[in-house]
Amino acid sequence: MVNYPSESKALINDGGRILIPVNIRKALNLHIGDELLLKVEDDEIHMIPLSKAVQQAQDLIRQYNKDGLKLTDVLSELRKEDQEND
């Protein structure tokens, strides 16, 4: 595994765009067209590859879904029950 510097300077251009330096793109394996999730925490901008953010969300849900239920099935069943009760 190649070790890339994990800190770089970037500028915001007049269109509000930020160019992510090549060492950061390589370190995160980012490519043209990849989507990033941007969030502000403690007055800082955090950029997370969307694929990683989705994986983190799935991992979080698994912590609370100990029975391994398919959540889409659970939601469908709840909707069906709501319709029957109306």
Q: Are residues 40 and 81 in the same domain?
A: yes
Q: Report residue 75's pLDDT band, with 50, 70 and 90 as the boundaries.
A: confident
Mean pLDDT (whole number) for 4-22: 88
Does residue 50 register a pLDDT over 70?
Answer: yes
Looking at per-residue pLDDT, the higher value among 8 and 43 belongs to 43
40 and 75 together in one domain: yes
Res. 67 pLDDT band, cuts 50 70 90: confident
What average pLDDT does the structure give for the chain?
A: 88
Indicate whether 26 and 41 sit together in one domain.
Answer: no
**pTM score, two decimals?**
0.59
Are 28 and 42 contained in the same domain?
no
CB 77 within 8 A of CB 69: no
pLDDT value at 1 more than 70: no
Nearest to 56 by CA among 37, 32, 34: 37
